[in-house]
Every structure is written in C-alpha cells, then in structure tokens.
Amino acid sequence: MMKRLVILAAVLSAVAGSASQAQTLLRLRGGCGPCTTPCAAPCATPCAPTVQYVDKKVTAYKPVWKEREVECTVMKPVVKWIEEKVPCTVMEQRVEKRTVKQNYNECITVQEPFTYTVLEQRVEKRAVKQNYNECVTVQEPFTYTVLEQRVEKRTVKQNYNECITVQEPYTFTVLEQRVEKRTVKENYNECITVQEPYTFTVMEQRVTPQKQMVTSYRCETRQVQETVPVCRRVCVCYVDPCTGCSRMVWTNVTQNVVCTRNVVHRIPVQTEVTCNVVTCVPVQKQGTRTVQKLVPKTRDVVCDYVTCVPVQKQGTRAVQKLVPKTRDVVCEYVTCVPVQKQGTRAVQKLVPKTRDVVCDYVTCVPVQKQGTRAVQKLVPKTRDVVCEFVTCVPVQKVNVVRRCVTECVAEKVKHKVAYCEMVPYETTVKVAVCAPCPAPCATACCPPPCPRVGLLARLFHRNAGGCGTCCY
C-alpha cells in the first residue's frame, strides 16, 4: 500500500509541474500562440485528472538460503615420543674421618668471701604537737527555687498524608524463548591408556657400625651454708594520730638466719659408644608405567539454540499515592513557672584544734657484715674429637630421556556451508494511472485552431483557456 501511495504522489507532482509550465509559456506568447485572434473567454471550470489503479505483473527477487559442501585443509596434530641421551653431572658423597681439637668450658664451684650491708631498724619515741579538725553540724536557713508545671490545652491544625491505592494500566515487555535445533560438528579428545617402560632411581640404605666418644654428666650433691634475710612479724604499740588512742599493731622485722641448702654439681664422663651410620646409595631400576594419551575425534551433535523475542503486553498494577489532608488536634502544652521557697539545711563545719601525741620514729641504720658464697666459674680446656667430614665429588653420567613432540599434518575435510541465493518470481501489484476527462464542454470557447501552435501548446491544451479545444 505504501508503494502505491508513493507512485501516485510522484505522478501527481509531475502532472501539476508540467501544466503550470505550459500555462506560463502560453501566456508569454499571448494566448494560444502567434494567432491574430486571441482565445475567447473560458466557458467552464477545467476538469481535474482522475487517478485509477490497474493490476500489473512484475518480476521480483527473494533470498533463499541453500547449503553446499566445501573442501578445506585442516592441520591435525600428531604426537610422537623421541628418546635422547642427555649428559649430566651427579654429586657423590664421600665420608672421611678426621681428628680435630675441640675447645670446651668446664664448670667449677668455688667458695669466696663477700661483704654485704644490712639495714637494722631502731625505734625512738617522741612527743609532737598534732593539729586536727573537729567536725561540727550546724542548721542554717536557705532559699531555693522550684519549677512548678502548668498544663494548658490548645487546638492546632495538623497536616497529614493519607495513603490511597489506585489501579493504573502499564505496558511491560516479556522475552519469549524460541528453541531451534541445529546439527553442528563437535571436536573431542578420546583418552587412551598406554603401558610404557621407564628408568627410575631408588636410594637404598646401607648401615655401617662406627665407634664414637660420647660425653655424659654425673651429678653430685653438696651442702652449702649461707646467711638469708628472714622477715618476721612483731606486735608493736601504735598511737592513732587522729584520735590519740593506742593499740597493738603487727609489723614486719627483718633478721639474718643461717640456712643450709643442697647444690648439685655436674661432672663430665667420656664413654666410647658404637653407633650405626645409615648411608643412602642410588640404584637404577626398570619399570613400566601407565600413560594417558588424547586422540582427537569429530562427531555430530544436535544443539538447541534458544532465542529471546521481546513481546509487548498490557497489565494493571496497584500504585500507592499520598493525598495531603488537614485535621484539628487538641494538644497539652506544659509550661514551667519558677517559685521561691524557704527551708533549713544541716551544714558540716570544721573547727581547728591542737593536741599532744607520742609517736614511734623508726630509723634504719646500715651495718656491714661478712659472709661466704658459692660461685660457678668456667675453666677453658681442650680435647681430641674424631669427626666425619662429608665431601661431594662430581661424576659424569649419561641419562636417556623421552620427550613428547607434536607435529602438524595437513588433512582435507569436507563440511557444509550456508549461502544466500536471489530467486526471481512474478507477482501482481497495483499501479496508479491518470484517466482523461469524462465529457467535453457543450459550447465552443475558442476560435479556429491555429496552424502555428507548437507541440507544447497542444500537449497542455487544458490550461490554455477554454474547455480544451483551443489551439488544438
């Protein structure tokens, strides 16, 4: 339908443009042409062109998808195993016994005199003046302020929103799934288990008995006397400086007491012990292991292709809307009014006084004393020790190594390819055609035809004035 409308608009614009150009040329030439007698006045309104639709067969083209087989070259990987001899250097251990000088320290206990200082306490009684405060309770008047609450009711305007549910239509889009089955080529690898020989190295243990010197320690207990300060509690008369009352109080007094304690000395003892030394020797062995290999293959698989198509749908949903409203609310307003009141309160006052108090003054006097203490001293000594020195010697060996090599081999494969081909077909369409006037005018409006009128005037005779017979 749109194609027909476009063709009709093009025909009408062409006819209107040609008619206006012909009328302008005729007017410039003075009527119908170079005639001596001008055209007569028009007798009636010229008729408008009539458009009709006619069926017409045309040839059109449509796309058609077809498949064909195409031969192409594919690079196929092929796995190969290659054995290579690789030279390598192995470090072998060699054990060598050597006698070395070992320096060690021997611990010896020595008694040595020393001088220490002890603080001895000496108690002395003294009479002193003591100032103290006596607490007295006094009643005194005072003025205080109390806030009294007054409640007043008032009516005020309150704005609130009322929630209303409204049903409104809306348009939403839903994705509908369409499933299409397609056959595609799938490449996969099949795992195959293969048994292959290989060489591995095992460390075998060999035990060798060897004699070694081991140092052990023997413990000896000795008694040592020493002077230790001991704290003892003594009951002493104590006078309270606040109340002046005396009472018995326990206090700590330090005294020196001679005590005996046990001291353990460790004496080293050399012993010859036979030890088993384990050495590991590498041994080559042959074995078979299972290897997994992948073989590439191809198979046809039918897959579902899902496409989503958007579809417009109509629906109704509930929408919450807030409508502003106003209402009268009675509220209670509380106001606080200050009120002065009189009262009496008890006040504690301190009165300064003086009294005589006898106090014990304890002074500590340093006293020098002599004593003996045990001191541990280290004496440096030297001894012969047999040690094992391990040295690594490089040895050249040749190992057989298998490695995997992948080669690409060209292979021709046929597969189907889809292509688009344009196929002609015949169809019937509506074509717009301009029809002539149905009937001429009854009265002749123009003089006899002019022989010198051109082709342009005869073509557009309808716009030259009259009914269409002028200057024909």
What is the per-residue pLDDT for 40? 47
Q: What is the pLDDT of residue 5?
A: 56
Q: What is the DSSP letter of 461?
A: G
Mean pLDDT value across residues 253-274? 86
Q: Alpha-carbon distance 160 to 324, whole Å?
A: 6
For residues 437 and 467, is the Cβ–Cβ distance under 8 A?
no
114, 375 Cβ separation under 8 angstroms: no
Distance in angstroms (rounded) separating the CA atoms of residues 470 and 446? 5
Residue 87 has pLDDT above 80, yes or no: yes
Q: How many CB atoms lie within 10 A of CB 470?
A: 27
For the segment 182-235, what is each residue's pLDDT rounded down to a tens digit?
Answer: 888 888 888 888 888 989 888 888 888 888 888 888 888 888 888 888 888 888
**Cβ-based neighbour number of residue 468 at 10 Å:** 18
pLDDT band for position 10 (cuts 50, 70, 90): low
Are the C-beta atoms of 387 and 95 separated by less than 8 Å? no
Residue 47: pLDDT band by 50, 70, 90 thresholds?
A: low
Predicted pLDDT of residue 440: 53
For residues 338 and 433, the model is more confident at 338
Flag whether the pTM goes above 0.85: no
Among 69-73, 78-82, 448-452, which is the least confidently predicted range?
448-452
Is the pLDDT assigned to residue 445 strictly greater than 70?
A: no
C-alpha pair distances (Å), 434 with each of 4, 10, 48, 306, 456: 13, 12, 10, 52, 19
DSSP state of 29: T
Distance of CA 26 to the CA centre of its chain: 85
Cβ atoms within 10 Å, residue 268? 13
- Mean pLDDT computed over 113-142: 84
Residues comprising the chain, all counted: 472
Distances (CA, A) of 430 to 62, 424, 434: 19, 19, 13
Mean pLDDT of 373-394: 85
